[in-house]
Amino acid sequence: MFPHLKSERVNLQLLQESACRELVQQIDAIHGSKVIVLDEAMIGPVDLVTKPNLFRERSIDLLPLKPEMRFPKELNNIVYIVRPQVALMDQLVAHVKTNSQHGRQFHILFVPRRSCQCIKHLENKEVMGAFGRLEELPWNFLPLDADVVSMEMLHAYRDVSIDGDTTALYQAAIGLVQLQRLYGRIPKIYGMGVQAQLVWHHAKQLAIDEMSLYNGDKGAIDQLILLDRGIDLLSPLATQLTYEGLIDEFYGIRQNQLTLPAEHFPSYNAVNSSSAAATAARAAEESERLLSDRGQCKTLMLHSGEELYAELRNKNFNEVRMLLARKAKEIQEQMNLNFKQQSMKEIYSFVRRIPQILEQKRATSDHTSIAGLIDEQLKSDAFNDDLAAEQEFMVCADIDKSSAYIEDLIARRSELRNVLRLICLQCAAASGFKEHVLYHYKRKLAHVYGLEMLLTISNLEKAGLLHVQTESRAYAVLRKTLHLTVDDSVEVNPKDISYVHSFYAPLTARLVEHWLQPRGWQTLKSQINNLPGPTFEDFQVPLIGIRGRHGGGGTPSETSLLHARRVVLVLFVGGCTFAEIAALRFLAAQEDNNVQFVIATTKIINKHTFLESVMGS
């Protein structure tokens, strides 16, 4: 169903098929005519595990959840697929009161777990009698690509660090156990940070509670690295300069889908391609039209299933420009073939390749349009001034005093989100502000943006993004010892992961890079002590292994895996960026490392979404 998820060792199609099976079982257990109502946060996840024709074959319509809804009288079942949030229950209560009729039942499928609090709320509103099934779809990790899974929990970091709600950590632990059921026991575990340690503590306890599932099989995944977002708060605030990262920051990638006004794509109505990528895009557009009120838009599927995007996504944008120009030239040369000098066999071969050439032309045209939009953004003075300021902070230039650039932005009442991002980035680079500098920024912000800013600042402080300086200067030390900034970084055909930010290497990716070395993190003991939270390691001995189906559906033999690349699952607790993913893919592409990464995260974030989540409403 989703061929781009398939890989030799850890086949994430198994995860997708498992999630799809769970959904089908729940739907088919509800007899009679039905409609499915999706909470906005569930529209994307449903697209990740199933195709629209699954619902069409069952004559089921999909509708977006709205506060006021009227359903046709002939419908016997209203099925809600929602997150377990009490606020959403009030909308369901309103629907029950306005749409109840004899023979009609309402059902709720909670993702990823049933909520006693939500059910109690329905009982208090005296509508429980109208509900039939109250079940759960245990979708903890959803597959985004052949090497990426996500919990799609945008507010995980905020929930834990600000609200003290550790649900996301428990769900991550359940997700780890589920992955081991599918792919087998992970023998070696390493981690950094308080939240990462809590996730592993829960996962280990859940594993002990499921002894009936265990046998001695080693799974397809060799090692697990858990990284707490709190150990590196600078990287998610930095501007990403990879193609995929820039698309996400400027336009937003939502569950592999990019939606932009169709007017930006001259080939939108010109090419009626029948390729798999185009078919998937049309299905996504159809789903988008049904579930949103947007106007004429084009939706592109962005994953490794599209050959050109797979080649471009992890590149620095300066290299993307060159690659697109080269692709366009190659296509033009193929289309301008001189048939007078060709044999019939060569002409026949060309004719057979026409669909492939047209598909390449469509993809190149689409990505040239996207790159053109990004290029306009990159040429703006505001973007370049912000980038220059953050790069100065990254090299620890004048970070112990208030920034004249930031003060100027505040005086001009610039976008608050960007002002706070730069302040937090400076704070991370300085390992905290001196008390008078932090007070100065607070006073300026409150004076210009209003006293309500103090609540936002309080959230940033709870999240560890704003704080007073201590004796430890962790970033300054790590910048030098781990070479986090590289002055002569190469953006085209790079030799180092620093290309993802044009001269800054994400700390998390650099830590993984050092972990790949023979002695691992032992060589960094003194530097790691500067990071917040503990460093830990653990082992799951064969007696407590979890039986798994593995990547190919069977147990790999020791002989076949003797020279195989080791598979490492890297779990980011609190979110990760596309730049960090690109850096890990770059490391995996180096033959000397002999490693394949599977990247798991609570959510793929960028500098905007991460800060907005922490700032709150």
User: What tens digit of pLDDT does each residue of 417-450 get?
Assistant: 999 999 999 999 999 999 999 999 999 999 999 9
What pLDDT is stored for residue 355 in this prediction?
A: 80
- Cα–Cα distance, 104 to 202 (Å, whole number): 41
Residue 212's pLDDT band (cuts 50, 70, 90): very low
Same domain, 59 and 150: no
* 536 and 577 inside one domain: yes
- Do 392 and 444 fall into the same domain? yes
- The pLDDT mean for the chain works out to 89
What local confidence, expressed as pLDDT, does residue 209 receive? 73
Are residues 327 and 257 part of one domain? yes
In a domain, 482, yes or no: no
- Mean pLDDT in residue range 317-342: 83
At residue 557, the pLDDT reads: 47
User: Looking at residue 489, what is its pLDDT?
Assistant: 80
The residue count for the chain: 617
Strand (E) or helix (H) holding 70 = none
Structure tokens at 194: 């308080």
Question: At residue 267, does pLDDT exceed 60?
Answer: no
**String of b and e for 524-533 (b: at least 16 CB within 10 Å)?**
beebbebbee
**Structural domain ending residue among the three candidates 92, 117, 139:** 139
Give the span between the Cα atoms of 34 and 449, in whole angstroms.
49
200 shares its domain with 89: no
Are the C-beta atoms of residues 154 and 160 closer than 8 Å to each other? no
Query: Do 148 and 135 lie in a common domain?
Result: no
* 192 located within any domain: yes
What is residue 565's three-state secondary structure? coil
Q: Which domain-ending residue is among 139, 171, 200?
A: 139
Residue 484 lies in a domain: no
Q: Are residues 521 and 576 in the same domain?
A: yes
Q: Does 356 reside within a domain?
A: yes
- Res. 312: pLDDT tops 50: yes
Read off the pLDDT of each residue in 90-114 and give the average, rounded to a whole number.
Answer: 94
**What is residue 468's DSSP assignment?**
B
- Pair 342, 255 in one domain: yes
Evaluate if residue 553 carries a pLDDT over 70: no
101 and 160 housed in the same domain:
no
Helix (H, G, I), strand (E, B) or coil at 190: strand
In this model, does residue 499 exceed pLDDT 80? yes
- Other Cβ atoms closer than 10 A to 18: 17
pLDDT 10s digits, 179-208: 999 999 899 999 999 999 999 999 999 987
Domain coverage including residue 115: 3-139
Q: Are residues 323 and 390 in the same domain?
A: no
Residue 230 shares a structural domain with residue 176: yes
**Between these two residues, 593 and 529, which has the higher pLDDT value?**
593
Residue 560 has pLDDT above 50, yes or no: no
Tell me whether residue 11 is exposed, middle or buried, using C-beta atoms within 10 angstroms of its C-beta: 0 to 12, 13 to 18, 19 or more.
buried
pLDDT at 296: 84
CA neighbor of 466 nearest in space, from 451, 453, 483, 479: 453
| Interval 367-376: pLDDT, tens | 999 999 999 9
Is residue 29 classed as helix, strand or coil in its secondary structure?
coil
279 occurs within a structural domain: no
Please tell me the total count of domains within the chain: 4
Q: Is residue 175, in this structure, part of any structural domain at all?
A: yes
Indicate whether 324 belongs to any domain: yes
